[in-house]
Every structure is written in structure tokens, then in C-alpha cells.
Amino acid sequence: MSPVLQELLILQERDSKIQAAKKDLENIPLEAGKIKEKLNEKLKALNAAKDTYFDAQKAVKQVDLDRQTRKDTITKLKMRQGETKKNEEFQMLAHEIVRYSEQIDELETKELELMESVDLRKQERVEANDQLLAEKKFATEKGQELVELKKNSESVIKKMQSERDSLVQKVEVGARELYERLLASRGAGVVVLLKPEGQCTGCNMKLPPATIHRVTAGAELVQCSECSRILYNA
């Protein structure tokens, strides 16, 4: 392999690390946004569970209030029964007492059902709170990982860029300019291996025998006729 190709491969290795680190930096805000979104979802779920629980409690209290109101009404009706001397009015009051008693029975049944619902809603609230706490723990840990990733990625970029600046000056001008043009248009991975079958690793194009011979000879920089990447032989 020619010295120029060796220099380009070393340069490409640095560029690959720089681009990978930059990609990590670009993804950090996206990951942070996903974490925040999930956290908000768990918070909304908890608030919804709390509202449902409070509504269930409120319904129980309302039924209890209605039941007590009817009990008070029955007490008053019985007092009126004791005071009346008219049989017709007594019977009418008795009928009302029975009607309110039936309503109380219905309300008591309803209250039991609602109390079961309260217990269920309470459990849902507890579970939603547990899920929020777990998500907060995950968000904290993931946030710390992202902070470290940002720090490490910036360190890698700084180190690799410094090495690149030094390496690129050693590359012959024509080869450097060709490499930089390809890097700008295709990104890292512009110096690629010629497969044993005579194919370009970059685009899998089968190369003509003359091109394969030139690459194997290693006396010059040879580009793929399809994708323009620089080829080298292992």
C-alpha cells in the first residue's frame, strides 16, 4: 500500500471518530426530549389517576349525604305520624317512609359499589405514582449518562480534530484535495477496500479488470468509476 493511501486511511479513521462524536452530540437533545416527554406522560397519568380517585371519593360522599338526607326525612315523617290523628294522612306518611327506606337501601348498595371503586382508583393512583417515581429515577440516570456522553464526545472531537489538523498537512496536496472533496460530498468512508471479487466496498459495483489492476499495483490513487470513492487493496 502506498504511503499516501496509508495517510488517507489514518486521516479517515480520525474523521470517522469526529463524525460519530458529532452525531452523538446531535442526538443528545433528541434523547433528552424523549426523556422529558415520557416523564410528562407519567405525570399526566398520575394527575388523571388522582382526579379519578377524588371523583370516586366525591361520589361516595354525595351518596352518603343523600342517604343521610333520606334518613332525616324518615325521622321527620315518623314524628308527623305520631302527631297526626287522621288515618288517611298516617297511611300516606307510612307510604312515604317505605319509599324513602327503599331509596336508602338502593343508596347503600350504590355506596358499597362506589367504595369498591374508590379502592380500585386508589390502587391505580398508587401504581401511577410508582411509575412516575421509576420514570424520574430513569430520567435522572439517563440525564447523567447524556451529560457524560456530551463531555466525552466533545473531548473526542477536540482530540481527533487536533490530530487531524496535524495529519492532513502531511498528505500530498492533490490527494488531500481529492479526499476533502469526497468527504464533503459523501461523509466519512471515502477510502474503501477493493473486495477480492473485484467489487467496490462502497457501492458494490463490479470494477473493470484494468481498474482492478491499477488498484492492486498501488502506484496511484484509483477511484471507483461508479461512486468515485478511493480504492485500496488489502
Q: For 152-207, write each residue's pLDDT tens digit.
A: 999 999 999 999 999 999 999 999 999 999 999 988 899 999 999 999 999 999 99
- Average pLDDT over every residue of 119-135: 97
Q: What is the mean pLDDT of the chain?
A: 95
Closest among 132, 138, 140, 154 to 50, alpha carbons compared: 132
Share of the chain above pLDDT 90, in %: 95
**pLDDT for the residue numbered 77:** 95
Q: Could you please report the per-residue DSSP string of the chain?
A: --HHHHHHHHHHHHHHHHHHHHHHHHHHHHHHHHHHHHHHHHHHHHHHHHHHHHHHHHHHHHHHHHHHHHHHHHHHHHHHHHH---HHHHHHHHHHHHHHHHHHHHHHHHHHHHHHHHHHHHHHHHHHHHHHHHHHHHHHHHHHHHHHHHHHHHHHHHHHHHHHHHHHTTS-HHHHHHHHHHHHHH-S--EEEBPTTSBBTTT-PBPPHHHHHHHHHTSS-EE-TTT-PEEE--
215 neighbors 201 (Cβ within 8 angstroms): no
Q: Cell numbers 477480492 correspond to what residue?
A: 196
| Pair 230, 223: CB distance under 8 Å | yes
Q: Could you give the CA distance from residue 187 to residue 139 in angstroms, rounded to a whole number? A: 33
Percent of the chain with pLDDT over 70: 100
**Residue 62 confidence class, pLDDT cut points 50, 70, 90:** very high
Query: Residue 197 phi/psi, 5° resolution?
Result: -80, 0
- Sorted by where each starts, the structural domains of the chain and their CATH numbers stand as 22-158 (1.10.287)
Averaged pLDDT, 87-105: 94
